[in-house]
Structure 1
């Protein structure tokens, strides 16, 4: 009996591939480009899993951010028990199980109003979901950070990985400096450099023609949005200092023009 159990355990373990750089990028891209996800939490009073759809954005380091109302069942669930999971990854044509998705195991934390963190995540969330500005400041709405514990990545048939938080998050040495830089840089790019943004999306990312704008910046790359479309452009190297951003964006625009 013991041999059977050991063989079964070894068989199950062999299904999981060794986490490599490609798996980490895929996992991060699924999270960074997600517009929505399925949030699963434990329903208070019944102990049944409660799954509901939520709109998603990310903080500078890649931590998922959601905005919920106290009228929603999942809000009372994560307030009573912060342990939850978030499934992201949109299916495309054909078999939905052939498309990548990732389950994030998290602890929900409500973000206090009138704080620097609240201002930062509010700005980043609304850059992805601008229509949410109509209700984001209502008294019964709150932003929650879904603090990552670990994740299960399914990159398609036969491509399963187990990831830890270090595989998913980008180190941010100075959150205040990055947040201040992002606010000005995103506004400046969208006002004065629409041509460069178009090159980023259509030439470097090959995301197709659209009215692209820059949504967010972080040490590892930038998010581009056009209506319901979201695209991610990764920097060649993670930026240790926000002061390196300008020359990086200029270099990317030059690269795109040379490829165009």
Structure 2
């Protein structure tokens, strides 16, 4: 870094050290991320396909075996559905994906931030989530009747996503997700693990609510690439595109439980 002698900025007006350090750390640009994702796809220990075999993730069987426990706690949460935040309320970048308030959320954890009061309301679900290694995010994804989430792709191939079907309305053929060239119909008590960097789109064309437990975990990678992935995900936790939704949810949780 070059230093000049003409900078007369008083020290009192300088940014705090922590802010200057965060400002010096930048998430890689889109082109660099795409190149890295190509490398990750080739090196991935689970392959590079839209949908993965559940056997590659030992925790999936544990979630499926306890689906009825999770469903029981979910039922109590659904009694609060009108008060729950929409996805657009938590993350403004999601506003282009859905034009209604039909996509509600109930977060347990996101990028190192635990929704403590939400977890206390669903203790058995939270305990199960805590057993999942390399977890980055977990929440109930609640989709109202007639809702449509437009086609989009995830932001980073270093994560893979799982949906545990909890409530799947009939006719199930009208409640579906397209991922790449595959079509997924959720089944209650069953998981699907997929790569959300493939273009995907969701429809609930039924008269009932659809709920899944959505989980993001680190992609299984060779050791050196795994270390790089973990480093980048730690950096991501300091970036505005992660910090802003975390702050939005923290504010919602504070207001909601203050009035509960």
TM-score (structure 1 length as normaliser): 0.23
Q: Which has the higher strand share?
A: 1
| Structure ranking higher on relative contact order (CA contacts 8 Å, 6+ apart) | 2
